Structure formats: C-alpha cells, structure tokens
C-alpha cells in the first residue's frame, strides 16, 4: 500500500517542497520481516530516522509495517538534510497500515523530529517552511509545538503544534486533540518595539552623535576612531534604537534568517527590533559570511540583515575576514558556492566599526603618552585595506569627554527624538526614489547620483578644489555626494550647498590624510 504527504527542505534561505512517498509490499525473504530503505539523496540524519521512527512507533503501541518498505524523498536529485522528515514519514507509515485514511494527510505540510519515545522535537527553519506552505496552497501545517508560535506569524495558513506522535495520530484518526495556534501581530509589535538603550545615557560626544544621525538617516556605513574608553562601543550599541522601526515584511525577512539558523527561541514569534550583531575579532570568514559542511547556514553578516553589524577593534580582525565584506557591502547579499549548489543569503546591513588610533590606543591623546613608533602606527592602519575603507561612508574622530561633561547631568537628545528625525529623512528618500528600486541614499549609484545630487556652479567649484587638494578617488567622490544628500534631507533641503558638501568631506577623516598618519599629535 502506498501513501504520500508533503514536507519541506531548506536550501540556504530558500525552501523546496519535498514529497514523501511510502510504499509497503510483502517481502519474499522470510528471514527478515522488516526491510526499510530510504532513497532520494538523504543525508546521515535522514538515514538514521529509520531507527528513531521504529522506536517512536513501538513505544506508542504501533508497529512498523511488515515486508519491504521503500521511502522516497522527491525530487530525487535534490539533496536533503536534517531531521524534519521524521514525523511525516512516521505518519505516512501509519497510513499504509490503515491506522487512518490516506486522504487525511491531503492539504497538510508536515515537519518535525521524533524522539525515541515519540516526542516531537523542535527543528530550525519552521517560519520559511510555513511561508512556503502558504505559497504552494497548503491549508494547514503540522509541526513541533515549540515551533508553533513562530509559524503562526504567517497569516493565511492554519498552524497545529504537536507535542507527541500520539497527538498527531489522534488528530488524523478522530479529528480532535489539536488546537490551532494563533498570535496577534499588532499586539506583538506594540509590546516589543521599544528602545532598550537610549542615547540620553551618552554624555557629550555631540559631534559623534551628529555623524551617527547622518549615518542612520541614509543607512551609511560608519567608522569611529578614538582612544580606549571614549565611548565607541557605548554609542554603537544604541544605533538600532534610532533606526526606523521594522515593518512586518522586514520582520519576516529577519525572522526567517534567524529561524533557519536555529536561534529563534520558542517564546519569540518574530524578530521585531532591528538586529545588532557584534562578532568577536577572532571570527572566521565562514562565521562572518556563513558556511557549513553540506548546506551552509547564515553567518553574522546575514544575521545582521536590516540591522547593524558592529566590528569593534577593526584592525584586529584577520585580513581575509575583512576582505570578504567588500562584496556584500556593495550588493547587499552573500553568495556561497558549494558542491551542493549555490546559496544566496540577504545581507543588507549598516556596518559600524571602531578602532584605536594606534596599537597602544593613545596616539594624539592629551591624557597619556603614546608608546608606538611611526612604523607601528602606519602598519596598524594598513591592516584595513583601501578598497574596504572606501566602502565605509563616514570616518569620524571620537575624542575623550571632558571631566566637566563626564560629571554633569545627562541632558542629551533622546533616541526617540533622533529616530523621528531619521524617519522623516527616510520618508523623503522613499518619495524621491519611488519606482527606481533604491531604498536610501547609500544605495545611489551612477546616473542616479547625477540626477538626484545636481551641483550648481558654486558647489562644483568647491568640490573640484577639495578633490584636487585631498586627492580623492572616484568612490570617495560618490560617498561625499551621498552623505551630502543625507545631510540635506535632515535639514529638509531640496538642493545641495557648499556647507553640506563641506560637512560631508569632514566625515571622510581617512581620506584627508593619504600621505600622513590619520591623526596629528
């Protein structure tokens, strides 16, 4: 007897439909009552499912069907991995011995791992699986109870969470025992989209806050340079709080990546706040970009999608790790080529980096004497390649805070106020770039720069003189125009002025000292 049902397989961030076919026939070999084979390019975890299913059925007072049982995972040329096929295979096996009608499985996508006692365990990637089930016309999805709230964020499909194999059997046999899982997305967003770290906690650093406001308004990458203890990490941790709130579509994008990575916990249906990822400087290129033995998982840069990737002590990262950032910063995605295929992960991030002015951290300091030689300082700076530095829009100095400011009251502008300014600037950009595919100023390129950043004669003369004196390259020129456009948006101005261009050039610290060290003592 034969039975079919549908399940799903994760390939990068894409989901493929997998049709599970189970066929049981009498066996002529009298020495073996049970012969089970799984075909369709399964990995080791799927091949081991035979023993998990056997134990789960036995301890649930059911038996494997006698004879030869062939389990096919179609399409046969698609590599499958993971333990999500345990539950659908077990339910198909039970249908072949008439525990319930085969038609009961129609219109249902089933995923889940089985424990030896029949317990249904959580699996990664449930959110994109539920989105895929809705896309292909499924009316309901059966999955582990721990993943139910995660999948319930997808509207238009009924989600049933299962704790034990016996619950699923009762559901298909007698249509009872399981209750659909639902959540209120509006309430979820209202409760959780709150600013945890506020810029009011940061004393002083008004110039740095201004640069951060510009970076957030245009989604520009940012490099902060300053001695230890001036507050670079303190400032960076508060950047997500001034970025615009995630929309539902963006929250689903981000949550999908976290679900695939297996780090979306059972109490969290969606990621509703912008991510902030801060990997240690010992991270590998695979840890940053993503990787894995067979099917790669998303790395830190993809986990920061629609949010902030913070790299503290930037020169301490290995050179090869930093260089792999260059392509994702330009394209907004990561493409990994493996033997199993090519996988693309989204990586639209705001890069925020921090570094000291020298190895000891005190070059140019008025409080401590620098112990580094000129060669040591130059070598330290040269750990960051020119091409990577060109992709960072703003380079700013973060000076120490005076004792008077440090001991004074916290009276800076709040993150909520800064977020409102960023929101108004982003709204201007969305209206300006309507029907162009561009979302913010940092993404402008080529003809769009000429069209949206026209320069009058005064601005043109000013910029030509600045390029000649500072020896700016073409990429730096483009960055300056983008930054100036963002400054104009914050000031609600339609045209660029020399003042906007001058401020933009001041945020290119590393460009202003091509022949010298980045700081003057």
Supply the pLDDT for residue 28: 63
Q: Between the CA of residue 253 and those of 144, 153, 259, 291, 330, what are the distances in Å?
A: 22, 12, 10, 19, 19
**Cβ 257 vs Cβ 302: under 8 Å:** yes
Supply the pLDDT for residue 519: 42
186-197 average pLDDT score? 77
Distance CA 370, CA 363 (A): 5
pLDDT in tens, 295-326: 788 999 999 999 999 999 999 999 999 999 99
Neighbours of 506 (CB within 10 A): 16
- For residue 31, is pLDDT > 60? no
First to last CA, the chain: 84
66-92 average pLDDT score? 93
pLDDT in tens, 465-490: 988 888 777 778 888 999 999 999 99
Mean pLDDT over the full length of the chain: 89
User: Which fold does the domain 2-174 belong to in CATH?
Assistant: Ribosomal Protein S5; domain 2 (3.30.230)
Q: Does the bond joining 75 to the residue before it have cis omega, within 30 degrees of 0?
A: yes
**Cβ 269 vs Cβ 183: under 8 Å:** yes
Distance of CA 237 to the CA centre of its chain: 17
Supply the pLDDT for residue 367: 76
Task: Give all strands (DSSP E) within 75-157, no chain letters.
Answer: 108-110, 113-114, 120-121, 140-144
Encode burial over 262-296: b for 16+ CB neighbours within 10 A, e otherwise.
eebeeebbbbbbbbbbebeeebebeebbbbeeebb
Q: What CATH number is given for 194-440 in this structure? A: 3.40.50.300
164-192 average pLDDT score? 90
Domains of the chain, by residue range, sit at 2-174, 194-440
pLDDT in tens, 330-362: 889 998 887 767 888 999 999 999 999 899 988
406-435 average pLDDT score? 90
pLDDT in tens, 107-151: 999 999 999 999 999 999 999 999 999 999 999 999 999 999 999
- For residue 32, is pLDDT > 70? no
205-233 average pLDDT score? 92
- For residue 395, is pLDDT > 60? yes
Classify 301 as helix, strand or coil.
helix
User: In degrees, to the nearest 5, what angle opens at C-alpha 29 toward C-alphas 35 and 51?
Assistant: 15
More confident residue, 48 or 337: 48
- For residue 520, is pLDDT > 50? no
Report the range of poorest mean pLDDT among 29-38, 415-424, 444-453. Answer: 29-38
Supply the pLDDT for residue 517: 47
Supply the pLDDT for residue 135: 95
**Cβ 80 vs Cβ 71: under 8 Å:** no
**Cβ 37 vs Cβ 49: under 8 Å:** no
**Cβ 372 vs Cβ 363: under 8 Å:** yes
Supply the pLDDT for residue 488: 96
pLDDT in tens, 254-311: 999 999 998 887 777 789 899 999 999 999 999 999 987 767 889 999 999 999 999 9
Report the range of poorest mean pLDDT among 143-147, 194-198, 418-422. Answer: 194-198
Distance CA 296, CA 500 (A): 44
**Cβ 120 vs Cβ 113: under 8 Å:** yes
Confidence category of residue 29, pLDDT binned at 50, 70, 90: low
Supply the pLDDT for residue 267: 72
167-179 average pLDDT score? 95
Share of the chain above pLDDT 90, in %: 64
Supply the pLDDT for residue 512: 53
pTM for this entry: 0.89
Supply the pLDDT for residue 244: 93
């Amino acid at each position: 007897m034969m039975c079919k049902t549908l399940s799903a397989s994760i390939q990068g961030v894409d989901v493929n439909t997998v049709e599970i076919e189970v066929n049981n026939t009498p066996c002529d070999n009298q020495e073996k009552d049970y012969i089970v084979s799984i075909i369709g390019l399964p990995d080791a975890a799927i091949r081991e499912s035979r023993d998990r299913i056997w134990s789960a059925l036995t301890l649930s007072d059911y038996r494997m069907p006698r004879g030869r049982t062939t389990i096919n995972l179609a399409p046969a040329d698609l590599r499958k991995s993971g333990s999500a096929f345990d539950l659908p295979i077990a339910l198909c096996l039970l249908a072949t011995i008439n525990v319930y009608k085969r038609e009961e499985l129609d219109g249902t996508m089933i995923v889940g791992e089985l424990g030896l006692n029949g317990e249904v365990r959580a699996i990664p990637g449930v959110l994109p699986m539920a989105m895929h089930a809705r896309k292909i016309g499924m009316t309901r999805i059966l999955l582990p109870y721990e993943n139910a709230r995660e999948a319930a964020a997808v509207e238009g499909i009924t989600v049933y969470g299962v704790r034990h194999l016996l619950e699923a059997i009762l559901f298909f046999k007698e249509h009872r025992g399981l209750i659909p899982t639902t959540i209120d997305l509006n309430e979820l967003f209202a409760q959780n989209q709150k600013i945890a770290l506020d810029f009011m906690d940061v004393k002083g650093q008004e110039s740095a806050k201004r640069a951060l406001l510009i970076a957030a308004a245009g989604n520009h990458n940012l490099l902060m340079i300053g001695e230890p203890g001036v507050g670079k990490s303190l400032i960076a941790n508060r950047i997500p709080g001034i970025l615009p709130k995630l929309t539902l579509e963006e929250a689903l994008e981000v949550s999908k990546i976290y679900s695939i990575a297996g780090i979306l916990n059972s109490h969290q249906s969606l990621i509703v706040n912008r991510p902030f990822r801060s990997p240690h400087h010992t991270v590998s290129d695979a840890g940053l970009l993503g990787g894995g033995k067979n099917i790669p998982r998303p790395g830190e840069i993809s986990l920061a999608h629609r949010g902030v990737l913070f790299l503290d002590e930037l020169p301490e990262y290995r050179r090869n790790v930093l260089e792999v950032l260059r392509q994702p910063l330009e394209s907004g995605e990561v493409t990994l080529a493996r033997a199993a295929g090519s996988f693309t992960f989204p990586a639209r991030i705001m890069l925020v980096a921090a570094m000291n002015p020298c190895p000891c951290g005190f070059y140019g300091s008025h409080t401590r004497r620098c112990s580094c030689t000129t060669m040591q300082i130059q070598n330290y700076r040269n750990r960051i390649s020119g091409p990577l530095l060109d992709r960072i829009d703003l380079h700013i100095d973060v000076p120490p805070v005076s004792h008077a400011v440090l001991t004074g009251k916290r009276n800076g502008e709040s993150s909520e106020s800064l977020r409102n300014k960023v929101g108004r600037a982003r709204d201007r950009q969305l209206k300006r770039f309507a029907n162009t595919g561009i979302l913010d100023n940092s993404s402008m390129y080529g003809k769009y720069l000429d069209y949206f950043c026209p320069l009058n004669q005064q601005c043109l003369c000013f910029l030509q003189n600045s390029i000649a004196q500072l020896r700016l390259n073409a990429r730096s020129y483009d960055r300056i125009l983008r930054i100036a456009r963002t400054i104009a948006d914050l000031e609600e101005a339609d045209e660029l002025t020399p003042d906007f261009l001058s401020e933009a050039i001041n945020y290119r610290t590393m460009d202003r000292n091509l022949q010298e060290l980045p700081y003057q003592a």
